[in-house]
Amino acid sequence: MSLTDQFIERAKKSPKRIVLPEGDDERMVQAASRLAAQGIARPILIGDADAIAQLAAGAPLDGVTIVNPSSCPNMDRYVAAYAKTRGVAEGIAKRLVKRPLYFAGMMAAEGDADAMVAGVAKATAQVISAAALTVGFAEGISQASSFFLMVLPGTPERVLVFADSAVVVDPTARELAEIAVATAGNAQKLLGMEPRVAMLSFSTKGSAQHPRVDKVREATEIAKQMAPQFAIDGEFQVDSAIVERVAKKKCPDSAVGGTANVLIFPDLDSGNMGYKLTQYLGGAQAIGPVMQGFAKPVNDLSRGASVDDIIAVAAIASLQCG
Amino acid sequence: MDRAEVEKRVKKVVSQVLNVPESNIKPEHKFTADLGAASVQSLELVAGFEEEFDIEVDEDEALSVQSVGDAVEFFVERLV
């Protein structure tokens, strides 16, 4: 069974309320129908009921909740909550919250949904902005980031988690530490693994001196303080992180070196190249980018996402709920 | 409504949403680089302008507005 199929089966054990703001997109409607019919999630579609029924084209909508912002009795509560949290006038809040992405975000923020999945029509930046302003960030986290699950070929399959390979361009030490901690938490929730987090660099434990190495070292210390429950260490070159033979020589005292399963890249250049090299030269399957850092899971889709893609991402969001 | 009125009201909205004194806001100021807006606040500014001028604007078009002067031009085109 593929990793994605495993996620779907696990999501069925505790179906979450996943709000899908793009109810005017046929793929979202079809995905909602299947999520409900197969018991993977309890989908909430934002939009007009008649228009959604047309897009369903006969697909069953039993178990799908449809919410139209213009007639929703919770609208005033969402507007008041947004205005209070953000410190803006209610008139401005109302203009925003009536937009589907913001309305869906407020459903999650106010506890009426467990997670949000969007992005078939809206750009990633718009999804991130809406989530940041409505759902907000998890405790100790100041920004959105992302991770990839890299399924390496071979038997049995081995899965590594890479971050951040898609969102944060040039993180500070603090931001890098946040990425490490958020990724470790998601690795645990999604894969059931004990995360062993390697903070990557071109230096292993002081083998090189450079301000960029200092940044990774500082991030390692911050991350350890933020999440003492996780095994986090650095700085490591990639081989010191994942090859035990090399780790025995370069960092024999590290509990993470040689056996890391979560790799934190120092910036987006290395993170993006790292995942693509692993995918295209190493033959790995890349699942992601999966968004993280929000107070509740918010996942972005590519505009070319298929119904199957939406279902897989909804299952991942369900598992991110913990 | 004339251009001066649009500019005055744009500055008022920018001041309220970004919490910057109106007297410090110049037409050449960019929202993020000069006025401290977080990039995620773009749509909050758009909603502020919509509320002030009581119109609805296309979200994608409005997000191309990056500076105070851009915003003045955007609304002069639509209101004056």
**Whole-number Cα distances in Å, A15 to A37, A281, A322, B57:** 12, 37, 12, 38
Domain that holds residue A89: 3-136+295-320
**Rounded distance between C-alpha atoms, residue A4 and residue A251, angstroms:** 35
A88 and A174 in a common domain: no
Domain that holds residue B75: 3-79
Which value does ipTM take for this structure?
Answer: 0.90
pLDDT at A1 (0 to 100): 86
pLDDT at A271 over 90: yes
Q: Identify which has the larger pLDDT, A262 or A156.
A: A262
Q: How large is the average pLDDT for residues A179-195? A: 96
How many independent structural domains does chain A possess?
2
Query: What is the torsional sign of CA B26, B28, B31, B34?
Result: negative
Could you report the per-residue pLDDT of A301-318, keeping only the tens digit for each? 999 999 999 999 999 999
A154 and A116 in a common domain: no
Nearest to A261 by CA among A138, A145, A157: A157
A283 and A179 in a common domain: yes
pLDDT at A144 (0 to 100): 96
pLDDT at A88 (0 to 100): 93
Mutate to test the interface with B, among A24, A94, A129, A134 (most CBs of B within 10 A): A129
CB atoms within 10 A of CB A87: 10
pLDDT at A287 (0 to 100): 95
Q: What is the mean pLDDT of chain B?
A: 92
A100 and A45 in a common domain: yes
A283 and A153 in a common domain: yes
Across the interface, which of A95, A99, A132 has its CB nearest the CB of B51? A95
Query: How many Cα atoms occupy the beta-carbon half-sphere of B21 within 13 Å?
Result: 2
- Give A-chain residues touching B17 at CB under 8 angstroms: 88, 92
A37 and A121 in a common domain: yes
pLDDT at B38 (0 to 100): 86
pLDDT at B12 (0 to 100): 95
**Rounded distance between C-alpha atoms, residue A214 and residue A138, angstroms:** 26
pLDDT at B61 (0 to 100): 86
pLDDT at B4 (0 to 100): 92
pLDDT at A178 over 90: yes
pLDDT at A106 (0 to 100): 98
CATH of the domain at A209: 3.40.50.10750
pLDDT at B69 (0 to 100): 95
Q: What is the mean pLDDT of chain A?
A: 96
CATH of the domain at B11: 1.10.1200.10
Could you report the per-residue pLDDT of A78-89, keeping only the tens digit for each? 999 999 999 999
Q: Dig out the tokens for A175 from the structure.
A: 């931001």
pLDDT at A285 (0 to 100): 94
A299 and A283 in a common domain: no
Nearest to A185 by CA among A270, A109, A294: A294
Q: How large is the average pLDDT for residues A151-174? A: 94
Q: In what order do the strands lie in the sheet with A298-300?
A: A65-67, A41-46, A16-20, A115-118, A298-300
A187 and A281 in a common domain: yes
pLDDT at A275 (0 to 100): 97
Residue of A nearest to B42 (CA): A129
Residue bearing tokens 């190249």:
A273
Backbone φ and ψ of A111, nearest 5°: 85, 10
pLDDT at B40 (0 to 100): 85
A36 and A8 in a common domain: yes
Could you report the per-residue pLDDT of A91-150, keeping only the tens digit for each? 999 999 999 999 999 999 999 999 999 999 999 999 999 999 999 999 999 999 999 999
Say yes or no: B16 contacts chain A, CB-CB below 8 A: yes
A285 and A149 in a common domain: yes
DSSP-based three-state secondary structure for A235: strand
**Rounded distance between C-alpha atoms, residue A202 and residue A274, angstroms:** 13
Could you report the per-residue pLDDT of A15-66, keeping only the tens digit for each? 999 999 999 999 999 999 999 999 999 999 999 999 999 999 999 999 999 9
CA distance B28 to chain A (A): 24
- Give A-chain residues touching B42 at CB under 8 angstroms: 129
Which residue type sits at A152?
L
pLDDT at B60 (0 to 100): 83
Could you report the per-residue pLDDT of B30-80, keeping only the tens digit for each? 999 999 888 888 889 999 999 999 999 988 888 889 999 999 999 999 998
A215 and A124 in a common domain: no
- Give B-chain residues touching A102 at CB under 8 angstroms: 43
pLDDT at A272 (0 to 100): 97
How many independent structural domains does chain B possess?
1
| Cβ under 8 Å to B: A residues 96-125 | 96, 99, 102, 125
Q: What is the CA radius of gyration of chain B?
A: 11
CATH of the domain at A132: 3.40.50.10950
A177 and A88 in a common domain: no
pLDDT at A9 over 90: yes
Residue of A nearest to B38 (CA): A129
What would the DSSP string read from start to end of A142-204?
-S-EEEEEEEESSSS-EEEEEE-SSS-SS--HHHHHHHHHHHHHHHHHHH----EEEEE-SSS
